[in-house]
Amino acid sequence: MAKDLPYLSSYKNVGLLFDKISKAKVPEAFTVRYLSDTLGLKSTTDRQLISLLKKMGFLDSSGKPTPTFSSLKNAATAKFAIANGIRIAYAPLYESDENIHSLASDQLKGAIAQVSGAEEGLVRFITGTFNTLVKLADFSGNNLVANDDSDDDVEESVEDQELTLQRKKVAAAGFSPSFRFNIEIHLPSNGTEETYLNIFNALRKTLG
């Protein structure tokens, strides 16, 4: 079954878009006015960039930035975030080949034509848009991000990831943690033998 794949009729400003986003304040809503007045992308064809950001998971359906949007402002995470966005927007392509971004030009074009079922002219636009995004991305790590246009998606912290890894190592080793309790009893120096026996019997009943 043919699948819809994102494309731009002009993708010359895609790189400029992400560069502008990295330098500008995160908006309450990513509107046409914000695109034009704040980012300086005033062409009518540039408006398609908003739809592209939505399909990549950086904006929700109303145009509000999602939690992953802030990753675009950090030079250390921006390229990984774009790679994740590509995987989200072009999910049907990645279902056919998880390394679709590494294919040679002719192979990529063929795969896009097969998955989209589009005519040749549209295939060129899809291919051009995809290639432009890939040049801005870094696929070197395992950075898949699930996104369902919900603000409830929160990325796992480094500490949580480390804790999860340690738990997996413990489980793999077949280790089951156990606990030992040390109870300290202060016996009265003037107590009788009966007093001591009563104390120990009470402990035995409580802990037994």
* pLDDT value of position 171: 52
Are 116 and 174 within one domain?
no
Q: Would you tell me the crossing angle of helices 120-134 and 78-89 to the nearest 10 degrees? A: 160
Are 141 and 181 within one domain?
no
pLDDT tens digit string along 121-149? 999 999 999 999 999 999 996 544 444 44
Domain count, the chain: 2
Task: Mark which of 102, 128, 150 sits at the end of a domain.
Answer: 150
Are 42 and 104 within one domain?
yes
Share of the chain residues as helix, strand and coil, in percent rounded to the nearest 5: 55, 0, 45
Are 88 and 169 within one domain?
no
Are 31 and 104 within one domain?
yes
pLDDT tens digit string along 49-94? 999 999 999 999 999 999 999 999 999 999 999 999 999 999 999 9
Q: How confident is the model at residue 35 (pLDDT cuts 50, 70, 90)?
A: very high
Are 108 and 195 within one domain?
no
The label of the residue with tokens 């603000």 reads 151
Provide the whole-model pTM: 0.68
pLDDT tens digit string along 187-199? 666 666 677 677 7
Domain of 178?
159-207
Are 203 and 137 within one domain?
no
| Residue 122 to residue 127: CA distance in whole angstroms | 9
Are 115 and 28 within one domain?
yes
- Higher confidence at residue 101 or residue 198? 101
